[in-house]
Amino acid sequence: MADLLQRLRAVAAQARALDDTTSRPLETVIDEAVDACEVVVAGRRTLVFGSNNYFGLTRHPDVVAAAKSALDRFGSATTGSRIANGTLAMHRDLERELAEAFGRRAAVVFSTGYQGNLAVVGALCAAGDFVLLDADCHASLYDAARLSGATIVGFRHNAPDSLARQLGRLPAGGKNRLVIVEGLYSIHGDVAPLREIVRECRQADAYLMVDEAHSFGPYGDRGLGCAEAQGVSDAVDFVVGTFSKTLAGIGGFVVSDHPELDALHMLARPYLFTASGSPANIAGVRAALAIATGQRDLATRVWRAVHRLRAGLIAMGFRIGATASPIVPVTIGTLGRTLEVWHAVLDAGLYVNVVAPPACPADACLLRMSCSSSHTDAHVDRALEVLGGVGRELGIVPAR
């Protein structure tokens, strides 16, 4: 007879293989946050190039002040779901402000971005419908599609021709198809060709949902994401996003012009059956939204860090992602080799993310770096110095 715990033992054994005695790539413990891009790990000040704090707003005085004030006025939590006692005026205000920012009819706010994706796809789609997913879509989008009961149809990453082929195979004449892509993809830092994707959706009468989780902030004139940057905002039926990156909080949202979206407040289970965002969090996100869409010099600073980091990595001989974006993947090799580099880099005071299979091929594991407007030239140069030193010592890049 199988033991239910056996599966967990196997996973624990795999995780142990990734650890060394001091630090764990899957759960690096941060003892203290010094500022938006420095933390303390194992007693050492560590420069962070592996967070999603794209505009450094977790430490912006307006965000912190708004959160503190809400904590004082409303207490630490709502202790209820949106349909019970968990709707404060500020939840409604944030929905209105998001809708206004995107120039859309309505917005709905969720307790996390993950739950937002489950809620939107689960409310729109059911058995008999088709969800067409880019192969590199985030786990929350796959889980959302699975949970909805719709038939999942994958298409090649960022390949409109593959999408067109898959759409062409569906039964003709239906309006029961939802295409889901991201603006900026979180592993390889590449951007969706949204104009071509919009064209294929229009041709096949499919709805389009774009997850702008990583692109909200750095992309577009007002920071609304890749659809804005590529001039196709009006053609996107549903834009979803998260508060856990540029907006420096926790939660998710959807915006849309379809009036039917209001029904999410009544039927989306991941919205109905969970507690709402805490007052301090929602107040902080409202402040962050105003800053992110209003102070566009923050985006300029992110891009400055991106270009400096990429130029330095290329000059030293690192293999990095082809697209200039705030996410900079550095290909190392096998998982063992990548972990060796990751540990050495952390020991030298730099935190980056590890990307392992299935998110990448087994022989092309990555160190994933991400840039923030809080990164100064000096921060970037320090990161390059650490990576260069480790890379040369371990033979990842040529000696000078």
Q: Which is nearer to ligand PLP, 37 or 118 (CB)?
A: 118
- Total residues contacting ligand PLP by CB under 6 A comes to 14
Per CB under 6 A, does 277 bind ligand PLP? no
Instruction: Determine the interface stretch with ligand PLP among 29-37, 113-121, 143-151, 315-323 (rule: CB under 6 A).
Output: 113-121
d(CA 25, CA 335): 11
Nearer of residues 151 and 274 to ligand PLP, judged by Cβ: 274
Choose the binding region for ligand PLP from 65-73, 110-118, 267-275, 312-320 (rule: CB under 6 A). 110-118
Q: Which 3 state secondary structure label does DSSP give 205?
A: coil
Under the binding rule (CB under 6 A), the answer on residue 242 touching ligand PLP is yes
Residue 58 contacts ligand PLP per CB under 6 A? no
DSSP type of residue 161: H
CA triple 165-124-284, angle to 5 deg = 110
d(CA 69, CA 28): 31
**Among 84-92, 163-171, 211-219, 227-235, the segment contacting ligand PLP (CB under 6 A):** 211-219
Going by C-alpha positions, the residue among 177, 155, 152, 189 that lies closest to residue 52 is 189
- What is the nearest approach in angstroms of ligand PLP to the Cβ of residue 397? 29
* Nearest C-alpha neighbor of 107 from the set 231, 240, 198: 240
**Residue 121 in the binding site for ligand PLP (CB under 6 A):** no
Of 115 and 230, nearer to ligand PLP (C-beta) is 115
Whole-number Å distance between alpha carbons of 125 and 123: 6
For the bound state, the minimum distance from the C-beta of residue 214 to ligand PLP, rounded and expressed in Å, comes to 6
The closest residue (CB) to ligand PLP is 113
Binding status of residue 281 toward ligand PLP by CB under 6 A:
no
Least gap, CB of 42 to ligand PLP (angstroms): 25
Interface region with ligand PLP, contact rule CB under 6 A, candidates 112-120, 170-178, 258-266, 309-317: 112-120
Tell me the two tokens of residue 39: 């933390």
| Distant-in-sequence, close-in-space partners of 219: CB < 8 Å, separation ≥ 6 | 183, 184, 191, 212, 225, 226, 228, 229, 299
At 384, which helix (H) or strand (E)? helix 377-393
Task: Enumerate residues 135-194 that contact ligand PLP by CB under 6 A.
Answer: 138, 140, 182, 186
Q: Which amino acid makes up residue 33? A: A
> Are the C-beta atoms of residues 254 and 108 closer than 8 Å to each other?
yes
* Distance in angstroms (rounded) separating the CA atoms of residues 67 and 352: 28
134 binds ligand PLP (CB under 6 A): no
Other CB atoms within 10 A of residue 222 CB: 16
Which one of 58, 78, 176, 244 is in contact with ligand PLP (CB under 6 A)? 244
Contact window for ligand PLP (CB under 6 A) among 163-171, 210-218, 260-268, 273-281 = 210-218
* 230 versus 353: smaller Cβ distance to ligand PLP: 353
Residue 316 near residue 388 (C-beta atoms within 8 A): yes
Q: Is 51 in the site for ligand PLP (CB under 6 A)?
A: no
Angle among Cα 186, 183, 119 to the nearest 5 degrees reads: 85
**Chain residues that interact with ligand PLP, rule: CB under 6 A:** 112-114, 117, 138, 140, 182, 186, 211, 213-214, 242, 244, 252
